[in-house]
Amino acid sequence: MIWSGDEVAQLNDEHWAEVPEHDGDNRWAHRPRLDWDCVEEARSDPGSAVGRVWAGMQHLARVRASLPHLHASWPAETVAAPDPGVFVVLRRHPVGPMLQLYNVTEQPRTVPAWWVREQGINLDGAVDALNGFPPNLTDDGSVYLSTYQPVWLVRR
């Protein structure tokens, strides 16, 4: 989920409860007014943290648009991974499955190759759609996930 302002690394509103209409509804912490100076920084300075987040979101949107697996007509299944620190979404599409792996921890994680194959992905012909390269594999063939790393596995 992306909230308004996330695309430019805008922080939460620490003063959300000071608005009487927002009191008691902490969702307003994540809905600050958009900081237009931040937006301008994102557009003008690709080397800044804000600019890198902006560029990353643009890249993510392009990748997403290129994948038929992510069309709204195709359901997403959450699948329990062997490692509880990895969140998994599987999409079964006629062009082939898409396995989305998300390391949601501060430590590197691995996902066994046998388990990935059981989900319909052959690692020999797989690519991480987010970067266009084969996934990083450990010596035993498991998929290596760095800290907080997402990997979107599809067939080439």
Q: What is the mean pLDDT of the chain?
A: 90
pLDDT of residue 152: 98
pLDDT exceeds cutoff 80 at 145: yes
pTM assigned to the model: 0.81
Say which residues have a Cβ less than 8 Å from residue 113's Cβ, sequence separation at least 6: 123, 137, 140, 141, 142, 143
- Is there a single domain that holds both residue 74 and residue 103? yes
pLDDT of residue 69: 96
- Is there a single domain that holds both residue 43 and residue 73? no
Range of 19's domain? Answer: 6-66
Read off the pLDDT of residues 74-130 as tens digits, 9 standing for 90 and up: 999 999 999 999 999 999 999 999 999 999 999 999 999 999 999 999 999 999 999
Question: How many domains does the chain divide into?
Answer: 2
Q: What is the CATH number of the domain that holds 108?
A: 2.60.40.1180
* 1 within a domain of the structure (yes/no): no
- Rounded to whole angstroms, how far apart are CA atoms 87 and 81? 7
- Is there a single domain that holds both residue 60 and residue 99? no
* 126 within a domain of the structure (yes/no): yes
* 128 within a domain of the structure (yes/no): yes
- Is there a single domain that holds both residue 59 and residue 100? no
